[in-house]
């Protein structure tokens, strides 16, 4: 069990910062394995999924808040987008507070077809919880749509603890 940022960093010394490490660890919960410090000369990407050209950038205040650095980040992003890369960029403060939501978004948006039913339900749960705080109607639609799709594709795939009656009871 991870207890502190030091524990997180010691688990994978390949990332450059604690916020990158937080995302790396969360993505592994979905059996996703980003490449840390991916090199596309002359650029580096914090966390990358090269097979689908997905770049994940963890923007800590120390390195990504000056006008010059923001311009440099935007230049690099545009150059890479021009050759087909997609970007997901998150500020460090949001990563510290909502790492589970970020990993859930990435898992569902880019890897939905590769997730197990349990992983998909876990990710949906994080997003529902997050959006319930922000927009209850959106959260209800997301939960209902996901549940309906899972039931249509075969409710026998659901774990016993993820039964329809248990989820409907939360309304």
pLDDT of the residue at 115: 93
Who wins on pLDDT, 94 or 157?
A: 94
Q: What is the pLDDT of residues 94-135, one digit of tens each?
A: 888 889 999 999 999 999 889 999 999 999 989 888 877 766
Indicate whether 93 and 121 sit together in one domain: no
Residue 14 belongs to what domain range? 1-112
The last residue of a domain, from among 88, 112, 136? 112
Stretch 150-162: mean pLDDT: 49
| pLDDT over 80 at 1, yes or no | no
Same domain, 83 and 159: no
pLDDT for position 130: 85
Instruction: Find out whether the peptide bond into 42 is cis, omega within 30 degrees of 0.
Output: yes
Asked whether residue 105 falls in the same domain as residue 162, the answer is no
pLDDT of residue 55: 95
The percentage of the chain sitting over the pLDDT mark of 90, rounded to a whole number, equals: 38
Burial class (CB in 10 A: 0-12, 13-18, 19+), 4: exposed
What local confidence, expressed as pLDDT, does residue 14 receive? 67
Q: What is the pLDDT of residue 138?
A: 63
Say whether both 56 and 89 belong to one domain: yes
Same domain, 90 and 158: no
What pLDDT, on a 0 to 100 scale, did the predictor assign at position 64? 55
106 and 121 co-located in one domain: no
Residues with Cβ within 8 Å of residue 123, at least 6 apart in sequence: 30, 103, 104, 105, 107, 108, 115
Pair 20, 64: CB distance under 8 Å: no
Q: pLDDT tens digits, residue range 42-57? A: 999 999 999 999 999 9
Last residue of a domain, one of 75, 93, 112: 112
Percent of the chain with pLDDT over 70: 65
Domain shared by 68 and 150, yes or no: no
Query: Of residues 67 and 95, which shows the higher confidence score?
Result: 95
- Give me the pLDDT at residue 17, please: 80
Helices (H), the chain: 5-11, 18-28, 61-64, 67-81, 92-111, 117-134, 136-154, 164-168
C-alpha span between 66 and 100 (Å, rounded):
27
123, 101: one domain: no
Same domain, 93 and 28: yes
User: At 56, which CATH number?
Assistant: 3.40.960.10
Q: Where is the domain boundary, 112, 138, 158?
A: 112
- How many domains does the structure of the chain reveal? 2
Closest CA to 19 of 54, 47, 53, 55: 47
């Amino acid at each position: 069990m991870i207890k502190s940022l030091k524990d997180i960093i010691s688990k994978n010394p390949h990332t450059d910062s604690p916020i990158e490490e937080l995302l790396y660890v969360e993505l592994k919960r979905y059996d996703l394995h980003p490449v840390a410090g991916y090199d596309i000369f002359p650029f580096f990407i914090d966390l990358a999924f090269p097979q689908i050209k997905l770049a994940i950038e963890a923007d800590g205040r120390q390195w990504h808040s000056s006008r010059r650095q923001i311009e440099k980040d935007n230049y690099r992003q545009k150059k890479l987008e021009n050759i087909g890369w997609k970007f997901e960029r998150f500020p460090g403060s949001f990563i510290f507070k909502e790492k589970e939501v970020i990993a859930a978004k990435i898992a569902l948006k880019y890897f939905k077809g590769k997730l197990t039913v349990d992983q998909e339900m876990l990710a949906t749960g994080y997003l529902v919880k997050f959006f319930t705080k922000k927009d209850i109607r959106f959260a209800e639609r997301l939960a209902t749509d996901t549940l309906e799709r899972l039931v249509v594709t075969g409710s026998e795939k659901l774990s016993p603890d993820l039964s329809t009656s248990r989820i409907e009871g939360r309304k």
